[in-house]
């Protein structure tokens, strides 16, 4: 039997539900006995811990200790577990201020990796694209609760995060009703309103504010007062962390930027809550769901999508289709060159999906 082909796999960027399922299915598909008889070679699968940081060690002992052989037995139960067993980081080997990509390339060689599967959003995939350009065979799997990755209609973690928000809104409704309060719930999502809008639709929020459409605070207050006149006892307002008032600015938590140049957003919810109290005289509370949205066990859909994406990644490797990202497009699993998805974002299409008068999901679908 010839030398086994070594697949390295890592998860990068913010964690989310569904990552472990994808790792499990890359491993199971690559090591599947039935498929092995149809191939003229065998695979082995090595997990790399902590994303790109795991390939940044200059000490080879540390580098080797930061990997783990993945077998069907190791990953058997992973699909039902949240987070990422491999660990993750926002480490960028091509960081302008400290470019360590030469070490990454040397480490890939040292570990004998023949192909690298990178599970991530646009940051992780931008590194994958550069490594591919530097001669490394790579395949990508899309994940992010923001669902803002261009070129795919689904990214792992999104539906679980929508589910978490919906559950939390259900819980907040009872206390909001008891006290006749307005609750402003701030969601994640960066510059994309998908998470806020879809969670707003799932949970029946009265108002949803998204980054793709700047809101007018006076209109928000008008809607709340109108609702109260119509008999509403309480209100649920969902605000995406990237939403901003007309003429206002995006609210960031601090002035720090990560290795990919992103600010940590957050704080718009508190501002909206204060402006509602001021403009309506109704008691208002703000809840920032923060990382709870990335936690918990994957919903059924993320488990299945992790499975399909994992299997498809190995299908791409079988065909040596390097530099490709597995994607979900028009109801089908397919693939797209990673390079094509970088530099653009998938955003909510306001004219077809958002009601700019009621600040809610569109009432026109067909």
Choose the stretch contacting ligand F6P; rule: CB under 6 A; options: 55-63, 138-146, 298-306, 357-365. 138-146
Nearest C-alpha neighbor of 205 from the set 233, 175, 166: 166
Choose the stretch contacting ligand F6P; rule: CB under 6 A; options: 32-40, 133-141, 188-196, 228-236. 188-196
* CA separation, residue 110 to residues 37, 58, 105, 130, 326 (Å): 29, 11, 9, 19, 27
Task: Answer yes or no: 146 catalytic.
Answer: yes
CB of 237 to ligand F6P, least distance (A): 19
CB of 88 to ligand F6P, least distance (A): 9
Among 130, 190, 198, 307, binds ligand F6P (CB under 6 A): 190
Choose the stretch contacting ligand F6P; rule: CB under 6 A; options: 103-111, 176-184, 186-194, 336-344. 186-194
Give CA–CA dist 223/1, Å, rounded: 70
CA atoms within 13 A on the CB side of 261: 7
Token couple for 299: 């919903």
Give CA–CA dist 122/168, Å, rounded: 28
> Toward ligand F6P, which CB reaches closer, 14 or 47?
14
Nearest C-alpha neighbor of 215 from the set 196, 198, 233: 196
CB of 346 to ligand F6P, least distance (A): 13
CA atoms within 13 A on the CB side of 265: 22
CB of 7 to ligand F6P, least distance (A): 26
- For 296, the 3-state DSSP assignment is coil
> Toward ligand F6P, which CB reaches closer, 266 or 337?
266
φ and ψ of 182, to 5 deg = -95, 135
* CA separation, residue 331 to residues 66, 154, 203, 327 (Å): 37, 10, 24, 10
| Residue recorded with tokens 């509602």 | 276
Nearest C-alpha neighbor of 359 from the set 207, 256, 232, 132: 207
Q: Is there binding between residue 129 and ligand F6P (CB under 6 A)?
A: no
Give CA–CA dist 219/92, Å, rounded: 42
Q: Which of 15, 122, 123, 146 is catalytic?
A: 146
Residue 117, H or E segment: strand 115-120
Q: Is there binding between residue 289 and ligand F6P (CB under 6 A)?
A: no
Choose the stretch contacting ligand F6P; rule: CB under 6 A; options: 39-47, 182-190, 278-286, 352-360. 182-190
Give CA–CA dist 226/209, Å, rounded: 17
Q: What angle do CA 259, 138, 299 make, to 5 degrees?
A: 75
Q: Is there binding between residue 14 and ligand F6P (CB under 6 A)?
A: yes
> Toward ligand F6P, which CB reaches closer, 83 or 137?
83
> Toward ligand F6P, which CB reaches closer, 189 or 193?
189
> Toward ligand F6P, which CB reaches closer, 265 or 326?
265
Binding mask 140-179 for ligand F6P (x = CB under 6 A): ----xxx---------------------------------
CB of 253 to ligand F6P, least distance (A): 9
Sites for ligand F6P among residues 224-283 (CB under 6 A): 241, 264-265
Binding mask 293-332 for ligand F6P (x = CB under 6 A): -x--------------------------------------
Q: Are 238 and 196 in contact (CB under 8 A)?
A: yes
| Residue recorded with tokens 């995060």 | 161
> Toward ligand F6P, which CB reaches closer, 144 or 335?
144
Q: Give how many residues touch ligand F6P by CB under 6 A.
A: 11
Among 8, 83, 189, 193, binds ligand F6P (CB under 6 A): 189
The residue ranges that bind ligand F6P (CB under 6 A) are 14, 144-146, 188-190, 241, 264-265, 294
Residues belonging to the active site: 146
């Amino acid at each position: 039997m010839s030398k086994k082909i070594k697949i390295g796999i890592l998860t990068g960027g913010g964690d989310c539900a569904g990552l472990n399922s994808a790792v499990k299915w890359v491993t199971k598909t690559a090591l599947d006995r039935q498929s092995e008889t149809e191939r003229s070679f065998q695979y082995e699968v090595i997990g790399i811990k902590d994303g790109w940081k795991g390939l940044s060690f200059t000490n080879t002992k540390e580098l080797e200790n930061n990997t783990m052989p993945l077998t069907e037995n190791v990953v058997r139960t992973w699909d039902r577990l949240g987070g990422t067993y491999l660990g993750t980081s926002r480490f960028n080997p091509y960081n302008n201020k400290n470019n360590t990509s030469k070490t990454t390339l040397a480490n890939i060689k040292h570990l004998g990796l023949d192909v690298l599967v990178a599970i991530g959003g646009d940051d992780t995939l931008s590194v994958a694209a550069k490594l591919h350009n530097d001669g490394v065979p790579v395949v990508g799997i899309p994940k992010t609760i923001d669902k803002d990755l261009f070129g795919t209609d689904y990214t792992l973690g999104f539906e679980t995060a929508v589910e978490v928000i919906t559950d939390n809104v259900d819980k907040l409704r009872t206390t909001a009703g008891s006290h006749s309060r307005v609750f402003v719930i701030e969601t994640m999502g960066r510059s994309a309103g998908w998470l806020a809008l879809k969670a707003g639709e799932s949970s029946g929020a009265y108002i949803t504010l998204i980054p793709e459409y700047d809101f007018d605070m006076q209109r928000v207050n008008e809607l709340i007062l109108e609702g109260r006149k119509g008999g509403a006892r309480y209100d649920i307002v969902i605000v995406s962390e990237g939403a901003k008032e007309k003429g206002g600015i995006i609210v960031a938590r601090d002035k720090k930027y990560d290795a990919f140049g992103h600010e940590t957003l957050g704080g718009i919810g508190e501002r909206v809550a204060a402006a509602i109290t001021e403009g309506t005289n109704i008691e208002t509370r703000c809840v920032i769901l923060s990382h709870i949205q990335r936690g918990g066990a994957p919903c059924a859909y993320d488990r299945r999508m992790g499975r399909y994406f994992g299997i498809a990644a190995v299908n791409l490797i079988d065909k040596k289709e390097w530099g490709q990202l597995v994607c979900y497009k028009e109801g089908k699993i397919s693939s797209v060159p990673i390079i094509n998805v970088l530099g653009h974002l998938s955003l909510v299409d306001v004219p077809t999906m958002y009601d700019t008068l009621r600040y809610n999901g569109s009432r026109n679908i067909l």
